[in-house]
Structure 1
Amino acid sequence: MANVTQWALRAAATVAIASASNVYASCGVESGKVSILSNDFPALHAVANMAETCASDKVTVSKNQTKDHRNLQVAALKANPAKYSSAIVSTSSIVPLLNEGLVRPLDDLVAKYGASLQPSQLIRVDGKVMAVAFMANSQHLFYREDILKLAGVEPPTTYDELIAAAKVIRDKDIMANPIALNTKTGWNLGEEFINMYSATGGDFFKGSSAQPNINNAMGVKALNTLKALTELSNPDYLTFDSNVTQSLWEDGKVAFAVMWGSRGSAILDDEGSESDIVASTRLVSTPSLEKGGLPATTLWWDGWTVSKNLSDEDAEATFKVMVKATSTEMMKANSEKAVWLIEGYQPNDAAKGVIDSVQNKARPYPMLPYMGSLHSALGSELSDFLQGKESAEQALKDAEAAYTASAKEQGFL
């Protein structure tokens, strides 16, 4: 998969474009059927809600927003016609759709109806526009300033500092389990390792091949850091996904959490938590593994696609509706919900952690056709090490073996 567009993450950290927006006065759709599959969090609710304003007697707009979207998308888009006319995807979840040829090139539709899109939003694969990015995301550090002051510790910039600070908080009986991460067995746990390994500067694969490259000193360091963090987390950390981690934060049970930036607006609003917790919450760059090192996170984009197995009428209707759904009009009404890659966006407090991580040169998540197989293998093979059942080296060996079997089955090796 070559020539992937360098989307606007780094620009979003330094420049907020304030020029006038070419927003559709209406959706411009005369007829068609539009159906959206996406993940389930506030920024995507805003997008889908704006899409629904395009519905009329001759235009239907429906949505399925679920955390299980990854498991549904391939089968749903293989149907003919596709069950969903647009899958909202991320850096990684678009890859299976590209591998199966389930999304259509958008160049013709961009030329006809995409005047309001910025060139930096156009995700190109092998020279063709395959998706339109509308927001940036990454995991980063949230910390409680009041708890750190009570413990007498400074805000950490490295994971060694964070672990040391958390131990002080525990030793002073301020909190028993002061850290929370998205470490649920499966995709979330795999992502946590990928974040840590990214901070080492190491490559996940050997050269330009699909041969894995994680069973090494950098992989061991990443795993040992992750284990040290989980030892300061609740014992049921292998069940923690984004919803659980957010709940722990809003309930005031943790002092440090690494969460997605897209959770920032919900964390900082006046719902679901006490005012003192909200007032003392700080969003900053993800820590590094060493002073001045790379942040232990990966940069992501979220964007929309148009399914291949559609009539031309429904494809055109879907494109127009999704342009409206991710317009400046939508962004201005929901500016606090994401780091938007949309014309006119001005960063706010909820965006600070993502933007700090970008400015500290966090690496993008690898957009490779076989990265998903490695991610899955990591998610399924690392929990035994975290529970003390095997060594880091054995866990990494098991992950490489599981990946290799999958990659061979898919023809990557």
Structure 2
Amino acid sequence: MTSRILRRSLLATAVLLATLPGLSNARCNTLSNAKPGQINIIGNTFPALDHIAKEMESCTQGGLKVQYKLVPSPQNENETLQAFGSSGKSAFDAAVVSMGTFTKLQSAGQLQSMTDLVNKYKAKYKIEDNMLVKVNGEVMAIAFMQNAQNLFYRKDLFDKHGIKVPATYADMMAAAKTLKEKEPGIEFPIAQTFAKGWDSATEFTNIFAGYGGRFFKAGSAAPDFSSDAGVKALETMKAMTAYMTPNYLASGSDDVMNQYQQGKAAMGVLWASRASRMDDPAASKIVGKMEFTAAPAVMAGGKSATHLWWDGVVMPKNLGGDRDTVFQVLMEALDEETTAKGNDLTIWVRSSYKPTRFATGVAASANAGAPQWPSEPYFGLAHGEIGKIIPDVMTGAMTPKAALDAAAVAYAKAAAEKGFLK
């Protein structure tokens, strides 16, 4: 389903962050039979989504008000799942979601098809086939951007000390050792999203896949992550902490981005959607110094230890507003004008996107064999339980094997309660 979406522009390369022009006064002036009222939309907050939020809210006019609630991850997912799963009308008429959240919503039967609306407005909004996320032939989401966690590294410091770009995690830790010893001001060379919960579980998922691990036994929802690959993944993560800030269990995407921008860290794996912020002169001290490439493998010659993602818009089955009006607002904010004005903010799915240097890491990761994010409907349960035990492993309170065994037991119980296991 998602491979068709990701193919078109994953081979992207370069340019610098442009200042966004003012919002167009013509936005939403051709809505067809729009119903008055308030449209509420929820989504994550990072540069590309902040841009889209402004475009959506610019549709406020006359009796129509559009409000986009920017909520950091993972709280935005929690609020979306709660609203779309409520017994009454959803508090949100639409949501901007990652493919991980989409999988949870779709498997719970909480999304409505947009096939008829796509057919009705495809020509008007130039909706491209590669934007359509289909399940059993029905359009359940409209994808607009691609993402992946890839390697950020300070090329100036690597050149200065004759360090090769890391191809493996062992290479990255060797480079970190060199910088810690030789580069004043770089006390903690690696910054990565090890925040307890969702972030650290996602890091585990990437590294675990790199070791060839599988979460579930073949053809089953039974857990299979308490394995040698799982132990190795946690051991790799723990080894990295020697080169990270002591507050690494609080390092989410914003904190890691800030460490890079302020010149406190020199490398690490982070979302490509944050790449353009490295060259933001208002926030960054390292403009032009950060480069991007494939996330390292965990074994020499192995696949890039990351996953490919997309973000898109969805509408709840329990939508309370006028679905036609909601859909038009979403498409207004995802049109070619939005892509052009925010071209350098992300890797857009639209064919009008002009690739920039901030996309090179995603392209390199894809070429290095990075798989797509797991799509099993029960994967989120396993991911959640693993996020709970990682802090105990990192601090030495539990061994990797004991922690994974505990997570497997907790997951099996949750999966049984949901009907995935008998």
Instruction: State if a TM-score over 0.5 links the two structures.
Output: yes
Residue 14 of structure 1 and its aligned partner are, at CA, apart by 3.4
Question: Residue 345 of structure 1 aligns to a residue in which SS?
Answer: coil
Aligned counterpart, 1:147: 157
Q: In 1, distance between residues paired with 2:395 and 2:138?
A: 45
What secondary structure does 1:14 align onto?
A: coil
Of residues 210, 216, 220 in structure 1, which corresponds to 2:227?
216
- Partners of 1:301 and 1:80 lie apart in 2 by 29
Which residue of structure 2 lines up, in the alignment, with residue 73 of structure 1?
Answer: 80
Aligned to 1:8, the other structure's residue is in SS state helix
What code does the residue aligned with 1:36 have? I
Q: 2:53 corresponds to which letter in structure 1?
A: A
* Separation of aligned partners in 1, 2:33 and 2:181: 62
Go from structure 1 to structure 2 and tell me whether the alpha carbon gap of 1:219 and 1:120 turns closer, same or farther (over 3 Å shift). Answer: same
Give how far 1:143 is off. Answer: 0.6
Q: Which amino acid aligns with 1:93?
A: T
Counterpart for residue 316 of structure 2: 307
CA contact (8 A) 2:12 2:360 kept: no
Q: CA deviation at 1:72?
A: 0.8
Which residue number in structure 1 is paired with residue 213 of structure 2?
202
- After superposition, the C-alpha distances for 1:126-184 in whole angstroms (9 at most, x for unaligned) are 33211111100111111111222333321111111111111111223532211011001
**Alignment partner, residue 172 of structure 1:** 182
- What is the alpha-carbon distance in structure 2 between the residues aligned to residue 234 and residue 102 of structure 1? 40
Runs of 4+ in 1 over 6 A off after TM superposition: none
Match of 2:19 in 1: none
2:67 to 55, 62, 65: 62
Distance change >3 Å, CA 375–CA 126, structure 1 → 2: same
**Equivalent AA in structure 1 for residue 54 of structure 2:** N
Residue number in structure 1 paired with 2:107: 99
User: In 2 relative to 1, CA 138–119 (structure 1 residues): closer, same or farther, beyond 3 Å?
Assistant: same
Q: CA deviation at 1:87?
A: 1.0
Q: Paired residue for 1:367?
A: 375
TM-score under structure 1 normalisation? 0.92
Alignment of 1:49 onto 2:54: yes
> What amino acid sits opposite 1:204 in the alignment?
F
Instruction: Work out the CA distance in 1 between the residues paired with 2:203 and 2:386.
Output: 9
Instruction: Work out whether 1:278 is the aligned partner of 2:287.
Output: yes
Counterpart of 2:115, as a letter, is D
Structure-2 separation of matches of 1:48 and 1:198: 34
Task: Indicate whether 1:125 and 2:135 are aligned.
Answer: yes
Q: Distance in 1 between matches of 2:401 and 2:78?
A: 30
Please list every run of 5 or more consecutive structure 2 residues that lacks an aligned counterpart in the other structure: 14-26
CA contact (8 A) 1:268 1:350 kept: no
Q: Is the 8 A contact 2:34 2:324 kept in 1?
A: no
- In the alignment, the residues of structure 2 paired with residue 280 and residue 179 of structure 1 have an alpha-carbon distance, to the nearest angstrom, of 16
Q: C-alpha displacement at 1:29, in angstroms?
A: 5.3
> Which has the higher mean CA deviation after the structures are superposed, 111-120 or 81-90?
111-120
The percentage of aligned residue pairs carrying the same residue is 34
Count of paired positions: 401
Normalising by structure 2, report the TM-score: 0.90
In the alignment, residue 8 of structure 1 is paired with which amino acid? I
Structure 1 unmatched runs, 5+: 17-22
Which of 2, 6, 9 is the equivalent residue of 1:9? Answer: 6
Aligned twin of 2:20: none
Cα pair 1:140 1:297 within 8 Å, conserved: yes
Q: RMSD value over aligned CA atoms?
A: 1.9
